[in-house]
């Protein structure tokens, strides 16, 4: 494997594959903080060039984090479909990129070869792709998953309604639910970040959501984004939990900092598949994950590996559990990992591409904190780019301002206007419900849409 | 408006029922959101008003991330360390082995200092006096992070350190202050050993109340010789 190259009259040498991977990333403050980033723009391109020429077997044969040291590495390695891999082992990273962007290559082809690729191979190709490469290829791939409802159909843009409240107040949660639903938001899921991660609090939030969903007959799924073990207890005590949520990291040590392991997630997955409640029927996909570039570094669990590659490894772990959906929260992590709107946009495009390459149903929290050099316009731009990239769902909150987590995302109005501007519809079942409630008419928001009184008054 | 609707809207600070169309919010609602974000940005990038701090005779120090806000935001590791010149000054002007060492830093919100320090700090000093705690010369640290208290702990060996520091601003309140404190912070202190009173502001935990309560907490951690997870 070649680690030396010349570009524009200068020579570049990289210490190992890990070094080459890191330096081939677009500029990210998290790689700089970790001391892994390219030292100049030319070195970055030299690294991309070299990386483009190595083969997929080079990547597999030189593990960045040896499987003996890390259970996420083991899990990714063991999941490789050997017969698919053998056909692609001799292909270069450049060859993979050119095949992906080829007009004849379709979703089915990509989802097939995905089984033979490791997360590191998928990360490698993302590094040598331009933004439009990422958008174009993401747009080709679509995986459909199913929990209470199915999402991911071509031509749809679903959304997560996030009715957070600074003290988990039930009325406050209901108010935001009604408002979001009236805009046609909430088809992917209704998911709350709890203030307090206790059995009582998590159960109460499930109860509040389940009550509204049952009363109104809303075809969606509910989730409380607590630690997985709290949800398991709540489910075992008899509360309907449609989705089982957990944040994931791309290394064993990173997951340890989240208080989870592969064994624990295996157990949660078994419980989730078996968990049902009277009156609810479920498809095979019951897990929900969030990830974000930088979480491993923040836990000092990155093993000297760049944050894009670690993010890809999260998806490698996620696919073991056939999740209903997964979204990146890049932009929430802080300026030390993602400095600016430009970096947020790039990370989100990479994440959605890499997730879809793993066969996942991918969403994004298009978001930023107030100490990142970004603003609402950057988010609206990214909303357009991701919708064009066929992102399967986006998170939305009232006016893009989360009054509990203190960060900014997209608004309910943004979901409506993204669908309208780019010709997308809500998820099929949800669209039927919206029509039945008079909130949509002929596939578009009706005159009554966007007014929570339609739902509050109707009770 | 029906009373049920009114009750629902009152139950959350979320921006609901803002007017406009289903596609785009009203101009006013949009500009209000932008204005609140602008205030949050300005408090991150703004400066502390020296006149507010003048009555407290603070010695001004710099972290290693004081050069620019960009460095401060991108390099939290540097914000946890004192600039070498400042470390020298700290030892020169500071008192060894006091009960409580006070640090004040702009952190992520200069407005949090501007708006709250004049209330919280005197109330804290008064409270410490009542509890018989010695509080020597305090320091202002430009662009500091919470864990900078560890280096100060190493250099001055106080029993406890408290740092008043501006929080990451949210749109609802860009001027919220936190007081982090720890018993004998040293190099290698883990986050779980630190304690915090957060959301100190006119809309949150009232600064006078927070200052008084903090004095009692100092007495407690010094008497128990432990803080955070070690405090049982």
**Nearest CA to A119 among A160, A183, A161, A75?**
A75
A30 Cβ contact list (under 8 Å, min separation 6): A293, A294, A297, A307, A333, A336, A337, A338
Can you tell me the distance from the alpha carbon of B80 to that of B132, in angstroms, rounded to the nearest whole number? Answer: 30
Structure tokens that stand for A274 in this block:
């078996």
Do the Cβ atoms of A375 and B168 come within 8 Å? no
pLDDT beneath 50: ranges in chain A? 458-459
Domains of chain B (ranges; CATH) run 45-230 (3.40.50.11240)
pLDDT band of B1, cuts 50, 70, 90: low
A160 is in an annotated binding site: yes
B177: distance to nearest CA of chain A, Å? 14
Same domain, A75 and A150: no
Nearest to A175 among B11, B169, B172 (CB): B11
Looking at A123, A140, A157, which one is the last position of a domain? A140
B125 Cβ contact list (under 8 Å, min separation 6): B135, B211
Can you tell me the distance from the alpha carbon of A2 to that of A54, in angstroms, rounded to the nearest whole number? Answer: 8
**C-alpha separations of A56 from A88, A96, A356, B15 in Å:** 7, 9, 19, 49
Do the Cβ atoms of A399 and B74 come within 8 Å? no
Cβ of A69: how many Cβ atoms within 10 Å? 13
Question: What residues of A are in contact with residue B36 (Cβ under 8 Å)?
Answer: 401
Do the Cβ atoms of B40 and A456 come within 8 Å? no
CA atoms within 13 A on the CB side of A249: 26
Please report the number of interchain residue pairs, chain A to chain B, with beta-carbon separation below 8 angstroms.
128
Do the Cβ atoms of B15 and A335 come within 8 Å? no
Same domain, A116 and A153: no
Residue-wise burial string across B36-65, b where 16 or more C-beta atoms lie within 10 A, e elsewhere: bbebbbebbebebeeeebeeeebeebbbbb
Same domain, A310 and A431: yes
Same domain, A212 and A266: yes
B177 and B110 Cβ atoms separated by less than 8 Å: no
Same domain, A135 and A179: no
A26: distance to nearest CA of chain B, Å? 16
pLDDT one-digit tens code per residue, A160-200? 999 999 999 999 999 999 999 999 999 999 999 999 899 99
Q: What are the phi and psi torsion angles at A75 (to 5°)?
A: -65, -40
Paired residues of A158 in beta bridges: A393
Average pLDDT, chain B: 96
- Give residue A279's pLDDT: 75
Same domain, A223 and A236: yes
Q: Write the DSSP symbol of residue A263.
A: H
Nearest to A171 among B7, B21, B29 (CB): B7
Cβ of B74: how many Cβ atoms within 10 Å? 21
Cβ of B68: how many Cβ atoms within 10 Å? 10
B44 part of contact set with chain A, CB < 8 Å? yes
The residue written with tokens 């991701």 in the block is: A386
Residue in chain A closest to B1 (alpha carbons) equals A453
Do the Cβ atoms of A450 and B24 come within 8 Å? no
Residue in chain B closest to A452 (alpha carbons) equals B17
Paired residues of A6 in beta bridges: A11
- In the stretch 183-202 of chain B, residues with CB closer than 8 A to chain A read none
Q: What are the phi and psi torsion angles at A59 (to 5°)?
A: -65, -45
CATH number for A258: 3.20.20.70
Distance of CA A105 to the CA centre of its chain: 23
Looking at A110, A140, A170, which one is the last position of a domain? A140
Same domain, A297 and A442: yes
pLDDT one-digit tens code per residue, A381-432? 999 999 999 999 999 999 999 999 999 999 999 999 999 999 999 999 999 9
A23 Cβ contact list (under 8 Å, min separation 6): A14, A36, A37, A38, A43, A44, A46, A47
Q: What are the phi and psi torsion angles at B53 (to 5°)?
A: -90, -15
B171 part of contact set with chain A, CB < 8 Å? yes
Do the Cβ atoms of B14 and A174 come within 8 Å? no
A330 and A295 Cβ atoms separated by less than 8 Å: no
In chain A, how many domains are there? 2
B5 part of contact set with chain A, CB < 8 Å? yes
**C-alpha separations of A404 from A104, A250, A327, A408 in Å:** 46, 27, 19, 11
Do the Cβ atoms of B73 and A339 come within 8 Å? yes
CATH number for A35: 1.10.220.70
Do the Cβ atoms of A403 and B13 come within 8 Å? yes
> H helices within A150-288, ranges in order?
170-182, 199-216, 228-236, 252-257, 262-274
Looking at A105, A140, A175, which one is the last position of a domain? A140
Same domain, A328 and A209: yes
Q: Is A258 left (phi over 0), alpha (psi -120 to 50) or beta?
A: alpha
Same domain, A133 and A174: no
B143: distance to nearest CA of chain A, Å? 13
**C-alpha separations of B176 from A336, A372, B52, B168, B197 in Å:** 21, 18, 16, 8, 11
Segment (H or E) for A287: strand A287-291
Select from B31, B36, B170 the residue whose CB has the most chain A CBs within 10 Å, as the one to mutate to test that interface. Answer: B170
Nearest to B16 among A176, A406, A416 (CB): A176
Can you tell me the distance from the alpha carbon of B59 to that of B77, in angstroms, rounded to the nearest whole number? Answer: 23
Question: What residues of A are in contact with residue B24 (Cβ under 8 Å)?
Answer: 413, 417
Select from B5, B9, B14, B176 the residue whose CB has the most chain A CBs within 10 Å, as the one to mutate to test that interface. Answer: B14
Cβ of A267: how many Cβ atoms within 10 Å? 14
- Give residue A459's pLDDT: 44
B35 part of contact set with chain A, CB < 8 Å? no
Cβ of A161: how many Cβ atoms within 10 Å? 27
Same domain, A133 and A165: no
Structure tokens that stand for A150 in this block:
């199915």
Same domain, A307 and A188: yes
What ipTM was reported for this prediction? 0.94
B157 part of contact set with chain A, CB < 8 Å? no
Which domain does A278 fall in, by range? 145-456
- Give residue A377's pLDDT: 98
Same domain, A289 and A181: yes
Residue in chain B closest to A163 (alpha carbons) equals B14
From the DSSP assignment, how many helices (H) and strands (E) are in chain B? 9, 6
B33 part of contact set with chain A, CB < 8 Å? yes
């Amino acid at each position: 494997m070649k680690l030396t190259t010349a570009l524009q009259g200068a020579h570049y040498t990289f210490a190992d594959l890990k070094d080459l991977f890191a330096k081939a990333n677009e500029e990210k403050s998290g790689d700089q903080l970790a001391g892994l980033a390219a030292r100049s723009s030319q070195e970055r391109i030299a690294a991309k060039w070299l990386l483009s020429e190595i083969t997929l077997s080079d990547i597999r044969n030189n593990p960045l984090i040896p499987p003996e040291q890390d259970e996420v590495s083991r899990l990714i390695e063991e999941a490789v479909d050997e017969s698919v891999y053998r056909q692609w082992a001799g292909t270069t990273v450049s060859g993979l990129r050119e095949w992906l962007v080829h007009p004849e290559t379709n979703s089915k082809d990509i989802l097939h070869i995905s089984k033979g690729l490791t997360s590191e191979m998928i990360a490698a190709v993302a590094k040598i792709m331009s933004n439009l490469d990422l958008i174009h290829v993401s747009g080709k791939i679509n995986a459909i998953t199913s929990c209470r409802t199915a999402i991911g159909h071509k031509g749809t843009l679903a959304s997560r309604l996030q009715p957070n409240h600074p003290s988990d107040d039930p009325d406050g949660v209901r108010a935001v639910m009604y408002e979001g639903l009236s805009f046609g938001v909430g088809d992917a899921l209704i998911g709350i970040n709890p203030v307090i991660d206790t059995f009582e609090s998590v159960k109460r939030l499930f109860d509040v959501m389940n009550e509204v969903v049952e009363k109104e007959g809303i075809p969606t799924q509910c989730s409380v984004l607590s630690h997985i073990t709290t949800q398991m207890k709540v489910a075992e005590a008899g509360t309907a939990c449609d989705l089982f949520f957990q944040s994931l990291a791309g290394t064993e040590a990173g997951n340890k900092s989240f208080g989870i392991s592969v064994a624990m997630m295996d157990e949660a997955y078994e419980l989730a598949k078996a968990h049902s409640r009277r009156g609810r029927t479920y498809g095979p996909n019951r897990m929900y994950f969030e990830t974000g570039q930088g979480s491993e570094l923040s836990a000092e669990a990155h093993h000297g590996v760049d944050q894009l590659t670690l993010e890809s490894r999260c998806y490698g772990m996620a696919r073991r559990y056939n999740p209903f959906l997964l979204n990146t929260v890049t932009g929430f992590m802080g300026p030390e990992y993602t400095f600016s709107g430009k970096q947020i946009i790039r990370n989100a495009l990479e994440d959605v591409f890499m997730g879809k390459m793993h066969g996942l149903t991918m969403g994004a929290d298009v978001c930023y904190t107030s100490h990142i050099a970004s603003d609402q316009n950057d988010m609206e731009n990214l909303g357009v780019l991701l919708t064009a990239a066929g992102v399967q769902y986006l998170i939305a909150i009232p006016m893009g301002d989360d009054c509990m987590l203190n960060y900014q995302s997209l608004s309910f109005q943004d979901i409506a206007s993204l669908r309208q501007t780019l010709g997308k519809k809500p998820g099929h079942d949800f669209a039927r419900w919206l029509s039945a409630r008079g909130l949509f008419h002929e596939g578009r928001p009706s005159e009554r849409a966007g007014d929570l009184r339609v739902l509050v008054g109707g009770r | 408006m029906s009373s049920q609707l009114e009750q629902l809207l009152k139950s959350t600070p979320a921006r609901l029922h803002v007017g406009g169309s289903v596609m785009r919010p009203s101009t006013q609602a949009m500009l209000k959101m932008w204005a609140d974000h602008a205030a949050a940005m300005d408090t991150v990038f703004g400066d502390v008003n020296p006149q507010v701090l003048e009555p407290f005779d603070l010695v001004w120090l710099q972290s290693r991330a004081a050069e620019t806000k960009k460095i401060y935001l991108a390099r939290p590791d540097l914000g946890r360390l004192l600039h070498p010149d400042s470390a020298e000054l700290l030892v020169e002007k500071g008192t060894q082995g006091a009960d409580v060492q006070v640090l004040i830093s702009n952190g992520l919100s200069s407005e949090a200092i501007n708006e709250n320090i004049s209330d919280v700090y005197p109330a804290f000093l008064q409270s410490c006096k009542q509890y018989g705690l010695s509080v020597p010369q305090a320091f202002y640290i430009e662009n500091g992070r919470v864990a900078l208290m560890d280096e100060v702990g190493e250099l001055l060996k106080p029993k406890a350190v408290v740092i008043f520091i501006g929080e990451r601003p949210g749109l609802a309140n860009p001027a919220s202050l936190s007081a982090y404190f720890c018993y004998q912070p040293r190099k290698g202190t883990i986050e779980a050993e630190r304690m915090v009173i957060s959301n100190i502001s006119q809309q949150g935990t009232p600064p006078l109340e927070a200052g008084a309560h903090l004095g009692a907490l100092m007495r407690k951690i010094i008497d128990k010789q432990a803080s955070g997870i070690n405090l049982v």
